[in-house]
Amino acid sequence: MSLDVDDTLVDYSTSSRAALAAMVGNADNWTLWQRITDDHCSRLLAGELEYESMRNIRTRAFFAALGEELSLAEATRRELHRQEVLASGWRLFPDVVPCLEWLRAAGLPLAAVSNASGRHQRVKIAALGLAQYFDTVLIAGEVGAAKPDRVIFDTACQDLGVSLGDTVHVGDRLHADAIGARDAGMHGVWLNRQGPREGALPTGVRAISSLAELPELLVCELSAASA
């Protein structure tokens, strides 16, 4: 069993929006921030940037896109403030601990599989009390591959000593998590906390709106499919 971290276990978007607002004065440019962040994380995975400097360079690029040219020192100062606000706002979704307790009681080996870029993700996992539930933690910035690349799914299963075909992966991103896991040979489950959407789900993908629904899905649907 593997689970995504941000916006699956941790309400990351809420804390990240608040941190952006604290740095800029509002969160109106959230989409721009996400786009620039994704670009810089991709450059990090490609070896073009170092983890220690990536976030400061990203923040400088963000303000440049808004028309404000900052020195690297000033960008670093603003980024450090953003990180402080971000960390103070980390929260688990209410359905997380009951689900993880059930999964551990069921004897399932668990992996956390995150597209985060570096060590701050391990700090977050530890600070929120999640580390005790997982047998292995896979961070894209450490593995050198990010979901939906099958490499990170393969690595998680190897660490757990389980086969891809016997493993379920749950995450909040339909393409990166559910479809990526399915294409890697796993059972992909999309955690859609926003509720029902129009149109049919992609073939081989299941959807839940809360982690409270996961135990029933595992017991009923997936066990029936493998019978």
Q: Tell whether 83 and 107 lie within a shared domain.
A: no
Annotate 109-131 with DSSP letters as a single string: --EEEE---STHHHHHHHHTT-G
Q: How far apart are CA 218 and CA 140, in angstroms?
A: 26
Question: What pLDDT was estimated at residue 225?
Answer: 56
Please provide the size of the chain in residues: 227
**Position 209, amino acid:** S
Query: Which of 36-50, 60-74, 126-140, 194-208 is predicted with the least confidence, judged by mean pLDDT?
Result: 194-208
Question: What pLDDT was estimated at residue 33?
Answer: 97
Pairing of the two strands 2-3 and 187-191? unpaired
Instruction: Write out pLDDT tens, residues 86-98.
Output: 999 999 999 999 9
**Position 97, amino acid:** V
Question: What pLDDT was estimated at residue 222?
Answer: 61
Average pLDDT over residues 193-207: 86
Domain that holds residue 182: 2-11+91-225
Q: Tell whether 100 and 67 lie within a shared domain.
A: no
Q: How far apart are CA 129 and CA 126, in angstroms?
A: 5
Whether 161 and 108 have beta carbons less than 8 Å apart is answered as: no
Q: Tell whether 159 and 103 lie within a shared domain.
A: yes
Q: Tell whether 154 and 174 lie within a shared domain.
A: yes
Instruction: Write out pLDDT tens, residues 140-186.
Output: 989 999 999 999 999 999 999 999 999 999 999 999 999 999 999 99
**Position 90, amino acid:** W
Instruction: Write out pLDDT tens, residues 115-127.
Output: 987 788 999 999 9
Return the CATH number at 106. 3.40.50.1000
Using pLDDT thresholds of 50, 70 and 90, give the confidence band for residue 226: low
Question: What pLDDT was estimated at residue 213?
Answer: 96
Q: How far apart are CA 5 and CA 22, in angstroms?
A: 23
Instruction: Write out pLDDT tens, residues 19-58.
Output: 999 999 998 999 999 999 999 999 988 889 988 899 999 9
For the chain, the domain total comes to 2
Q: How far apart are CA 138 and CA 165, in angstroms?
A: 19
Average pLDDT over residues 57-77: 97
Q: What is the mean pLDDT of the chain?
A: 93
Q: Tell whether 99 and 142 lie within a shared domain.
A: yes
Average pLDDT over residues 79-108: 96
Question: What pLDDT was estimated at residue 51?
Answer: 85
Q: Is it true that the peptide bond before 109 is cis, omega within 30 degrees of 0? A: no
**Domain edge (last residue) among 32, 63, 88:** 88
Average pLDDT over residues 102-127: 93
Q: How far apart are CA 111 and CA 164, in angstroms?
A: 13
Question: What pLDDT was estimated at residue 195?
Answer: 79
Q: How far apart are CA 214 and CA 227, in angstroms?
A: 19
**Position 103, amino acid:** L
Burial readout 98-133 (b: 16 or more C-beta within 10 A, e: otherwise): ebbeebbeeeebbbbbbbbbbebbbebbeebebeeb
pTM attached to this predicted model: 0.91
Average pLDDT over residues 176-199: 92
Q: Tell whether 49 and 81 lie within a shared domain.
A: yes
**Position 130, amino acid:** L
